[in-house]
Amino acid sequence: MTDVFKRNNVRTIGQGDRAIIFAHGFGCSQNVWRHLAAVYRTKFKLILFDFVGSGQSDLSAYDSERYSSLDGYAKDVLEILEALNIKDALYIGHSVSTMIGVKAAIAQPSYFSKLIFISPSPCYINDGEYIGGLDREDLGNLLELMDSNYLGWSSFLAPQVMGNSDRPELGEELVANFCATDPDIAKEFARVTFLSDNRADLEKLQTESLTLQCSEDILAPLAVGYYLEKKAKGNTLKILKATGHCPHLSAPEEVIAAISAYINFE
């Protein structure tokens, strides 16, 4: 049997009867959750992990076929919860991991009590009346740059994704995260992330959810938040004052306040 704890560098911290599982976005690791973990570890059991190819995960466990779609990553989440014998977990996912959580909750709804989406997007590409944020041609150019010069691509894209140019240290942290990710795996994960279309999954979701959408975000514009609110049953939309794509790093206090209000945490 696969050692999921080694594969995904699983850590459990905190105390409490209820569990929170944190799922990081593309090019990041479990370390991005440090601000939220410091608050919620007092009353929750926290599950932190790295997707294969990120952080301290087991790179040898990467399988191009398994991870050719978000379904493979959703299986990892379910296998972690199964190995820990956890049901009714609160799932907090960022960016692409929001849709990974959607897929996991559709497959095994009993594993989740609520889903929290930070900067989500079911489809990053503009399609007719749907505004995803990126034109297909522009995305193609970005992926070509990534293939030819991954480190240069990371240095170019990460600060734009982070936003908050008045605090360059935030962009520098995201660049460092991108550059610490295995380049070959990152290239495949990027394609799976940016080319996936998970809009049809939203109507299958039965688990209640909260969307935390930034007021400005080049990867997930406000239109995406309104789309999720409309299409996902039981979804609550909260528009943050924060800008950029990573408010859990740039504005953790606002994110924590919104989550705490949603789950009645004091």
The model's pLDDT over 203-249, given as tens digits with 9 standing for 90+, comes to 999 999 999 999 999 999 999 999 999 999 999 999 999 999 999 99
Q: Burial of 210 by CB count in 10 Å (0-12 exposed, 13-18 middle, 19+ buried)?
A: buried
Q: How far apart are CA 157 and CA 57, in angstroms?
A: 24
pTM of structure:
0.95
As a whole number of Å, the end-to-end CA separation of the chain is 40
Q: How far apart are CA 36 and CA 11, in angstroms?
A: 15
Nearest to 112 by CA among 80, 137, 136: 80
Phi, psi dihedrals of residue 39, rounded to the nearest 5° = -85, -50
pLDDT at residue 57, as a whole number: 96
Phi, psi dihedrals of residue 9, rounded to the nearest 5° = 50, 55
What is the amino acid identity at position 143? Answer: L
Q: How far apart are CA 152 and CA 102, in angstroms?
A: 32
Q: How far apart are CA 194 and CA 59, in angstroms?
A: 22
Q: Is 95 a catalytic residue?
A: yes
pLDDT band at 148 (very low <50, low <70, confident <90, very high): confident
pLDDT at residue 87, as a whole number: 95
Overall domain count for the chain? 1
Q: Is 135 a catalytic residue?
A: no
The CATH code of the domain that includes 82 is 3.40.50.1820
What is the amino acid identity at position 155? Answer: S
CA within 13 Å, CB half, 133: 21
pLDDT, tens digit (0-9, with 9 covering 90-100), for 68-115: 999 999 999 999 999 999 999 999 999 999 999 999 999 999 999 999
Beta-carbon count within 10 A of 82 CB:
13
The two tokens of residue 110 are: 């009993």
Out of 29, 119, 217, 248, which one is annotated catalytic? 217
Domain boundaries, position 216: 4-263
Out of 95, 113, 119, 154, which one is annotated catalytic? 95
Q: Is 217 a catalytic residue?
A: yes
pLDDT band at 1 (very low <50, low <70, confident <90, very high): low
Beta-bridged to residue 21, according to DSSP, are: 47, 91
Out of 50, 245, 248, 250, which one is annotated catalytic? 245
The two tokens of residue 142 are: 């970005």
How confident is the prediction for the chain on average, in pLDDT?
94
> What percent of the chain lies above the pLDDT cut of 90?
78
Q: How far apart are CA 138 and CA 132, in angstroms?
A: 12
